[in-house]
A and B are shown apart, each in its own frame.
Chain A
Amino acid sequence: MTTLIFRRLLQLPLILLVIYTITLWLAWAIPGNPLENPDRRPKPEVIEQMNKQYNLDSFPKFYFSYLDNATGFHWLRDTLSGRIAHERALAAEAGQPAPHRPVFDFGPSLEYDDWTVNEIVAGALPVSVTLGAAAILIALVIGLLAGIVGAVRPNSLADLATLGVALIGISLPSFVIGTVMLLVFSLLLAWFPVAQWGTPRSLVLPAVTLSLPFAAYIARLTRMGMIDALGADYIRTARAKGASELSVLLRHALKNAFLPVLSFLGPAAALAMTGSFIVERVFTIPGMGQHFVNGVLNKDLFLVMGVVLIFAAMLILFNLAVDVLYRWVDPRIE
């Protein structure tokens, strides 16, 4: 197991480097200059100087300087050479606040003057993680219940109903579900607030909306797994032993049927926790999803690269976590 973790962690920087290279290459090709405002254009010589300042004048320069800052190498060099300590001392001497030097520096946002990418991510990631975690939780509860019901009485009315709901959950786009939920539960019934974030109540509607496609998927996975498991010999043995039906379902069948769900959870959690542009927009949630889209639209290179790298790292780490969990839950797998 340790070898597995170790090997995966070693692969991580390599995969990130490939993703970084491809993404930057694509983002660089987007037309437009991120430093220009739509209508009032700065003078060309000013643009030129600013391009130079942000290394936007040459691809290799940007490629390596961004890599240097984002990976923490720059910080490490400056720490070892004593430069950061020197800057701190200078600032203290002048009675000024110490310069902020994060280890992993994703740079400034080109579109939002007053913010660094680190600050933006620090604000948005916890929001997305909370929402995503809640959504996956709801998806697990709904999905497992629906899956078990369907498996116990295959092709019964309950099974067909859950199948139908799952189909709707997968095929209806979340902006439709989200908007309908807002209309019904916020405007008509006034149970939940509109466009607010930060209270448990404000979490409910977006989390449910985000959870539905995942819930539907989990329900189908569980149902399939359970039907397989319920036909297996060890279940018959358990029943013959006189185990209660509930115990048969939960302790014996579900244990095996849950494994495919668990492997689905890794990418699903990473996807849910890095933000959904549409759910965030409909419910006005200050999460990560919007930065993927807006960063690209504004050609905010620093922001795009920052969120892409974080998303990629999360995806890899979640998959690793699931693999570890998998082995722990089912010791048969080596």
Chain B
Amino acid sequence: MLRLLVPFALLLTLVGVSVLSDRPAPRADFVFINRGDVNTLDPQRMSWMQDLRVARLLFEGLVQNDVLCDDFGIIPAVAESWSVSDDRLTYTFHLREGARWSNGAPVTAEDFRYSWRRAMLPDLASDYVNMFMLVRGAQDFYNWRERALSDFPQRTFASARERAEAADDLWTQTRARFDETVDLKAPDAHTLIVTLERPVPYFLDLCAFAVFYPVYGPLVEQFERPDPVTARLIRRPGWTKPGVLISNGPFELTRWRFKRDMRLEANPNWWNLSSLAIRSIDIPSINDPNASVLAFQTGAVDWVSDVTVQYRGDMLDDKNDFYREHADDVAALRAQGLDAFEIDRRLPDDPRRDIQAVPVFGTYFYNFNCKPLLPDGRSNPFADARVRRAFSMCVDKKALAEQVRRLGEPPANTLIPPGSIGGYHSPRGLKNVGDAATESERDAIAAEARALLDQAGFPRDFVVELLFNKDSGHDLIAQAIAKNWQQYLGVQTALAQKEIKIFREDLKNKQYMTGRAGWYGDYGDPTTFLDICYSTDGNNDRAYSSPAYDALLDKAAIEPDPDKRMALLSEAERILVEEDLPLIPLFTYANVSMFDPARVTGMTTHPRAKENLYLVDILGDGKGPDKPRPMRPAGVRAGQTTPAPETTTPAASPTPPAGGSR
């Protein structure tokens, strides 16, 4: 009989030992669920929103966006001040003396040179390498290294040892080559001078982008060695782990357990430490949408960055009911020009207000394959712009946004979310059946579209295939669009739902007719959207090629006058969304998040949606000022009540904005 108990005893010991050896830490000041698991903490390798969000906590760039200001302007960070030459090619940054790495070492101009050089190396395969090619000489340097690396395997060596030495030599030469060719100078420890290929009005905005943040060279170098066989720099993981990672931002990494949790604690060496109203941050890894909402409702987390539960539409409906119950208060608060979070904060306490939908810097659209032939060799009717226009006009975007998505997302007739970029005027875009006020107007739009199809000789028996990936409700959108096209154009449709990897491959290889797509902007300039339709761009999934469009972008790239440049870009977008329609903009994405605005402050409502979480203050926790941090009107910096006189568009400003602490 006793022998029967052995399996029990074994299992019990196992559970006991494991539970006892694993003790959770006390709750952090601020706990949030990120969009997904962090892929990497190497800023130069990043491209995911959740990674960039954490990078802005751990690292600090030369400058940053004033995320709590409606203009999203550029304010100092590691650089105390900066100046721009008259030809707007040369930027001189003056780094603050007090900036320190988490190990106490000063942050120097050399750190930025090291980090930017990393990003410029083909070895690193940074997703954003093209942004660094704006620096004068960077493209030459990149090409040189790339050529040297592809020649290396062809070279013959007497021994493996000799080959390894040659790989090391090439790396030494590469560093020397960088010093010679790339116009990135550090005359002293606290001055960084960058010269660009051409004037780039959004260059400072790029410097506020986490991929441009510095890494600590003496640490990273230990983990990157030239491979003795291919001469490529091999990255070993390891330096981004707690206890190893050295960072220069408001927080340092104290725990990171894969797909489990991450903990950040205030970096005692950060120059602006006293401004922090939270001292620790927990980022549990919760991937299940329902569990995220439950965790918020039980108070275990303070902010859910992306609410993706299926019933979020219902939650937003509840919030609208709540607004209706307090319609007068809401109207009065809106009249004061308050931001959405501040309005919620001042309304009566109610759990229904804790869900927030804010339009962001991204657009959901449908691609057309513009190649003359379809993958199966038939001629492609969508190569004709008239056909694309007709199909675009017959999507009821309003119904799509209001009845299918139900997240309060504005229907879009342009690729760039209107109003998201200062100084840019969006074109009107092509009208669609959803814009019609009356039934007869709707019929007229549909008739116009059918006439376009007839003109183009669109084959009657052609079956249009809609490609989309499963999950996230893409199927519902595809069904609605297919129904629209059948109803208004009498066109037959077929839905092709695929696994995400296959879907991406098909888009890339142009193995589709029309397919769903989406794009989020990276920096505050129209080109962050418009570049994806440039004929030779790597993200041109549409195979769209318009000499007129390309010429406008080329012209804008060298146009010195900011207003004229914006006008050129606006004209380019007009071609895209009014004439050629290689894509159908459907709606501007909204980000749906959860937090209690009466408890958490410091979140931005700006469409760029790039919150800097070190600005968060938990109201009433006795730490920090415990005062709400609402959005400031354009031009008003923290601590000011009226716009500062010298602040114009930051990039074009020859004088630096006022320095100092936030």
Contact = CB atoms under 8 A, between A and B. Distances in A.
Interface of A: 30-32, 35-43, 45-47, 49-50, 52-53, 96-97, 99-100, 108, 111-116, 119-120, 123-124, 126-127, 129-130, 133-134, 136-137, 140, 179, 182-183, 186-187, 190, 193-200, 203, 250-251, 254-255, 258, 262, 265, 281-284, 286, 290, 297-299, 325, 328-329
B501 A31 contact: yes
B47 A37 contact: yes
B3 A49 contact: no
Greatest chain B CB density within 10 A among A32, A52, A127 is at A32
Contact of B125 (A50, A127, A197): A50
B291 A255 contact: no
A187 B15 CA distance: 26
Contacts of B538: 40-41, 43
B150 interface: yes
B14 interface: yes
Contact of B292 (A30, A137, A195): A195
A286 B260 CA distance: 5
Nearest to A203: B19
Contacts of B501: 30-32, 297-299
Contacts of A127: 260
Contact of B500 (A115, A258, A297): A297
Nearest to B1: A251
B288 A124 contact: no
Interface of B: 1, 3-4, 6-8, 11-12, 14-15, 18-19, 22-24, 37, 39-42, 45, 47-48, 122-123, 125, 127-129, 146, 149-150, 222, 227, 230, 232, 234-238, 240-241, 257-261, 284-288, 290-292, 294-295, 297-298, 300, 499-502, 504-505, 508, 519, 538-539
A125 B240 CA distance: 22
B45 A113 contact: yes
B294 A265 contact: no
Given A37-B127, A40-B47, A195-B294, A130 B258 contact: no
6 contacts: A113-B235, A195-B295, A251-B1, A284-B285, A286-B261, A329-B4
A110 B150 CA distance: 22
A328 B45 CA distance: 56
Given A43-B538, A112-B39, A137-B15, A284 B241 contact: no
Contact of A250 (B1, B39, B237, B285): B1
A259 B442 CA distance: 75
- The 3 residue pairs across chains A and B that have the minimum distance between CB atoms: A32-B501, A286-B260, A113-B40
B18 A130 contact: yes
A193 B288 CA distance: 15
Contact of B505 (A31, A35, A116, A137): A31
A63 B156 CA distance: 27
A187 B290 CA distance: 12
Contacts of B257: 123, 286
A177 B301 CA distance: 24
Contacts of A120: 258-259
Q: Is the interface of A mostly helix, strand, loop or mixed?
A: helix
Nearest to B500: A297
Contacts of A100: 238
Contacts of A37: 47-48, 127
A254 B4 contact: yes
Contacts of B298: 186-187, 190, 193-194
Contacts of B149: 49
Contacts of B284: 195-196, 284
Contacts of A46: 122, 125
B258 A113 contact: no
B164 to A, nearest CB: 11
B12 A284 contact: no
B482 to A, nearest CB: 24
Contacts of B129: 42-43
A100 B1 CA distance: 48
Given A32-B501, A123-B257, A114 B222 contact: no
Contact of B237 (A53, A108, A254, A325): A108
B547 to A, nearest CB: 24
Given A113-B42, A197-B260, A133 B230 contact: no
A89 to B, nearest CB: 16
A199 B300 CA distance: 14
Contacts of B11: 133-134, 136-137, 140
B1 A200 contact: no
A284 B286 contact: yes
Nearest to A121: B258
Contacts of A200: 19
Contacts of A282: 288, 290-291
Contacts of B42: 113-114
A282 B286 CA distance: 9
Given A32-B501, A113-B39, 17 more contacts: A37-B127, A39-B519, A47-B125, A53-B234, A112-B39, A120-B259, A123-B260, A133-B18, A134-B15, A187-B294, A193-B298, A195-B284, A196-B284, A197-B260, A251-B1, A281-B287, A286-B260
Nearest to B293: A194
A284 B297 contact: no
